[in-house]
Amino acid sequence: MKIAEALAQRADLQKRIAQMDGRLKAACRVQEGDEPAERPAELFGEFDRCVDELERLIRRINRTNQSVVLSDGATIADKIAVRDVLKMKVQQLQGLLSYLSERADRYTRQEIRYVNTVDVKDVRRQADDCSRRLRETDCEIQSANWLYDLME
């Protein structure tokens, strides 16, 4: 199984586990005299099996991400850390650009005037550079996910 397939399987398991919350609640409390649609004991068993399978899968994904060394010498886990930080930087810079682009209307000359203390073009260049590096890093990760097999 490729890493990408394992990631899709992990997402499916996470969805199933999230959906079980409502099913468990509905089965564990019913109106007096009613029967639950599903048996709580069976649901708890299914929940435990899903959580155990998810844990095994996450361990294998993490082990693989730590072990696979890419052409530049970084592991997939290293690239994921870089991607996460770049995402954070891009969000911060784009938020700042939105803020700097807001126009503060003044109705009279006596109202306070605000000015930017940074070069907006420079901030935009930084945001564009970070976005480009984020796309490249994400492509490297996605490519590796389809190239490498999941470790035991």
- Domain range spanning residue 38? 1-67
Mean pLDDT value of segment 129-146: 97
Instruction: Let me know whether 13 and 46 are in one domain.
Output: yes
pLDDT at 30 over 90: no
Residues 30 and 98 in one domain: no
Judgement on whether residues 86 and 151 belong to the same structural domain of the protein: yes
Same domain, 116 and 59: no
* pLDDT tens-place string over residues 99-136: 988 877 766 777 777 888 899 999 999 999 999 999 99
Question: Which of 43-47, 90-94, 106-110, 140-144 bottoms out in mean pLDDT, i.e. has the lowest?
Answer: 106-110
Same-domain status, 48 and 120: no
pLDDT of residue 13: 97
Residue 92 and residue 137 in one domain: yes
Distance of CA 149 to the CA centre of its chain: 22
Q: Mean pLDDT throughout 28-32?
A: 89
Tell me, yes or no, whether 80 and 146 share the same domain. Answer: yes
**Nearest Cα to 122, choosing from 138, 91, 100?**
100
CB 130 within 8 A of CB 83: no
pLDDT of residue 106: 62
Q: Judge residue 15's burial from the number of C-beta atoms within 10 Å of its C-beta, 0-12 exposed, 13-18 middle, 19 or more buried.
A: exposed
Domains of the chain: total: 2
Q: Phi and psi for 148 in degrees, rounded to 5? A: -105, 145
Global pTM reads 0.80
Contact 144, 68 (CB under 8 A): yes
